[in-house]
Structure 1
Amino acid sequence: MEPEHLPNIFKILPLALPKDTTKLCELCQGRASLECAQCRVTFYCDASHQFADWVGIHEKICPLLVPIRTWTLRGSTGEGRIEKNIKKRELIAIARSIAEAKVAEGKHEEALPGGQACLSLCVDVFGSSTIELVPAYLLLAEAYLGLGKLSPAAEMISQAEWVVSKSPDCDHELNHRLHRALGRLQTAKGNFDDASLSFANDIYHAAKAYGLESTVCRYGYFLIANVFAKKGKTLIARSMYKEVAQTWHSHLTKLMQPFLENPEASPLPTFDKAKQVEVDNMLQTILDFEQHQSIKEHPLIALLLHCLSMMWFMAGDCVKARGFGQSALQTSQMSPQQELSAAIQSLLELVDMWYSS
């Protein structure tokens, strides 16, 4: 959507500032010539940056910025500063949540304003070199990597790495995220050996933080399997992909089980939109890899298709749930064991019953 085609609310936002203004653009820190007509405390160099900020984050936090940026005499007292910091921390959580969701959904350009707002607020509240800044650095790195902008991504990761190196008590969760970002960067650069090492460290810390069988840890397996696939090490990649698929099948089955046992008494399990995009991409990648093998492992293909059917059922898309389910059943019946056939058939019956009622 281009600025000239926006709803009326956008058309009234740009207001010219006095020529001698010292206000800076919210996104690029260049000289501002426009201000938000709603909050009047946020400024931009041009309409394109105003539009990008609105779509990325400003629409969600516009009124929340007013008390923070117009704090007067009361804000200079100890009590006032505490209250102001509390409001800033609330904004940090909002900005981070919105930007993370956009990254997960593949909306990397839209994630940048939220990531920048999160970083700026963190610096304001915690200081310029504290461990609290690391999530914001890594969030921005993910957004830049998604856009293929490797230089700013590397800069964000370098900043995060420096802070972590100065924090010996940094927890496993942050270390896992840092090594995952490093692995993604090295993969994008084609440095596959370095990427493998980073993803191995990612898996170690993710296992410590969440458990070896967690879906978080298994996503690290997926990323390192991608590297092995790029290096032509098909057997290793295939083995790791299989572990990822089995973990997700177990996870989705557990989510579905109460509903399968008693659909009238149990609520339909829901699937977070951002996580859905990530999992769909992962499962489709593994499925595509397996389907291109000269000797196909039909039980694994059936398991992946069953996963996709369950996921889309929880997402409320009966067409995709039925399509993947039917393909899963056909593939399962090609295997001598047919271990999944009964479970897939039950899901298909549930899909037909649920969406025809």
Structure 2
Amino acid sequence: MSFFPSFISDINHQEADWVSIHERICQLLIPIHASLPFVSSEKERKHGMEQLLNRQKYIMDVAQSTARRFILAGEPGKAIPAGLQALRFSVRVHGASSVHVVPAYLLLAEACMDAGYLTQATTYLSQAQWLVLKSPSCSLAVQHKLHQDLGLLHAAKGDLEQSLHHLANDVYLATCAFGPGALQTAGGYFQMAQIFLRQNKTDVANSLFAEVTAIWHAFLLKSVQTREQVLEAQAEASPFDEDGDISEEPLTEAQQTEAIQALNTILDFREKAPKQQPDETAKVLHSLAMLYYLAGDLSKAREMGAKALDLVKQLPQQEPLEAIDHLLKVIDSKPFYGK
């Protein structure tokens, strides 16, 4: 079974292949391609096979993370070769018929879609869909991601109704797996809103954008509160304390990229809308201020927070005023904004 499509056989893609992944794993490939040494006992043989499997798992993980980084960086041409290595070693570790290979297919499909290779993306998603259908025990998390990618593929092909069908399934499965207010559901809502905009159904898109904003706003508000608790605990900590520290779960690179893209898109929609909704615009700005603060971009955090504060002051109900004002004071207390 060949995992290499024809479009990466030319010299440019061979160079991209080396740059994106081979130079990172070439030394790891040597013991895998070498023949297993002669062993005199079953115990030694099992140990050798375990070592080989662990090396293959490690290369699979490296290839997957490398492909994901290139996708987030907007370099799908480099992500494809890394994704192919991830698929190759996923098959070696789990077997070609295992549902555990699906994430590698999805990763490759996403890279191909971003690169404009829709035919190849269709092939990878079809294979992933077939494996999921054959595996009744497949996790809801994997199923939700499959339907999201299928929705994006149909949107890229212009089949908007089929795209909405898959994205609706994406939201339903994400809700079942993670809960209605989870970040995973926000992605499906956001993509559906984009489709409704293409259909000139602005009211529906507006409602979905509000849902996306609410999910991110709640998550980021909690994350900022946790950050403050962590910093406060660290400042008051004694070397003799035995209590566990408050743990902070920072945004992953993928979540941060998704949030910046989604919230800035929604902000642009809000600012250009014929009928202004200052309360919703303020919530998007506050969310972006918190997001940039958590990411360490204090300049942008200050800019978005100040805009949010100005808007809220004009509203009859000013519940978010205190939270936004407090965030700005925290930002101003940092060395970058020190008086």
- The interval holding the TM-score normalised by the smaller chain is 0.7 to 0.9
Please give the residue correspondences for 1:262-281 in structure 2 after superposition, counting only pairs within 5 Å: 263-265=231-233, 270-281=250-261
Q: Any stretches of 5+ residues in structure 1 without a counterpart?
A: 1-25, 31-43
Which residue of structure 1 lines up, in the alignment, with residue 79 of structure 2? 111
Contact 1:218 1:244 in 2 (8 A): yes
Which residue of structure 1 lines up, in the alignment, with residue 55 of structure 2? 87
Contact 1:306 1:344 in 2 (8 A): yes
Whichever residue aligns with residue 177 of structure 1, its letter is K
Which residue of structure 1 lines up, in the alignment, with residue 313 of structure 2? 333
Give, in whole Å, the separation in 1 of the partners of 2:35 and 2:201.
59
Give, in whole Å, the separation in 2 of the partners of 1:229 and 1:72.
58
Contact 1:105 1:278 in 2 (8 A): no
1:172-225 per-residue CA deviation (whole Å, 9 max, x = no partner) reads: 111111111110001111111111110111111111221121000121111111
Which residue of structure 1 lines up, in the alignment, with residue 294 of structure 2? 314
Greater Cα shift, 99-108 or 340-349 = 99-108
Which of residues 327, 330, 335 in structure 2 aligns to 1:350? Answer: 330
Contact 1:105 1:273 in 2 (8 A): no
Contact 1:333 1:341 in 2 (8 A): yes
Higher helix share: 2
- Aligned pairs, number: 320
SS of the equivalent of 2:333 reads: helix
Contact 2:36 2:48 in 1 (8 A): no
Q: Tell me by how many angstroms 1:51 deviates.
A: 3.7
Which of residues 197, 218, 226 in structure 2 aligns to 1:250? Answer: 218
Please give the residue correspondences for 1:1-357 in structure 2 after superposition, counting only pairs within 5 Å: 46=11, 48-74=12-38, 77-260=45-228, 263-265=231-233, 270-354=250-334, 355-356=336-337
Q: Tell me by how many angstroms 1:242 deviates.
A: 0.4
Would the alpha carbon gap of residues 122 and 271 (structure 1) be closer, same or farther in structure 2, given more than 3 Å must change? closer
Contact 2:5 2:120 in 1 (8 A): no
Whichever residue aligns with residue 191 of structure 1, its letter is D
Q: Tell me by how many angstroms 1:81 deviates.
A: 2.5
Would the alpha carbon gap of residues 190 and 45 (structure 1) be closer, same or farther in structure 2, given more than 3 Å must change? closer
TM-score (norm 1): 0.82
1:216-247 per-residue CA deviation (whole Å, 9 max, x = no partner) reads: 01211111111112111111111111011011
Give, in whole Å, the separation in 2 of the partners of 1:134 and 1:102.
19
Give, in whole Å, the separation in 2 of the partners of 1:68 and 1:212.
44
Q: Tell me by how many angstroms 1:101 deviates.
A: 2.9
Q: Tell me by how many angstroms 1:262 deviates.
A: 7.4
Whichever residue aligns with residue 21 of structure 2, its letter is I
Give, in whole Å, the separation in 2 of the partners of 1:295 and 1:242.
14
Would the alpha carbon gap of residues 239 and 89 (structure 1) be closer, same or farther in structure 2, given more than 3 Å must change? same
TM-score (norm 2): 0.86
Q: Tell me by how many angstroms 1:106 deviates.
A: 2.6
Give, in whole Å, the separation in 1 of the partners of 2:22 and 2:315.
53
Whichever residue aligns with residue 217 of structure 2, its letter is H
Contact 1:102 1:274 in 2 (8 A): no
Would the alpha carbon gap of residues 294 and 74 (structure 1) be closer, same or farther in structure 2, given more than 3 Å must change? farther
Contact 1:27 1:53 in 2 (8 A): no
Q: Tell me by how many angstroms 1:270 deviates.
A: 4.1
Would the alpha carbon gap of residues 191 and 332 (structure 1) be closer, same or farther in structure 2, given more than 3 Å must change? same
Whichever residue aligns with residue 300 of structure 2, its letter is K
Whichever residue aligns with residue 172 of structure 2, its letter is Y
Contact 2:112 2:121 in 1 (8 A): yes
Whichever residue aligns with residue 220 of structure 1, its letter is G
Contact 1:249 1:304 in 2 (8 A): yes
Q: Any stretches of 5+ residues in structure 2 without a counterpart?
A: 236-247
CA RMSD between the two structures: 2.6
Q: Tell me by how many angstroms 1:114 deviates.
A: 1.6
Q: Tell me by how many angstroms 1:271 deviates.
A: 3.5
1:56-93 per-residue CA deviation (whole Å, 9 max, x = no partner) reads: 22333232222212233349944422321121012212
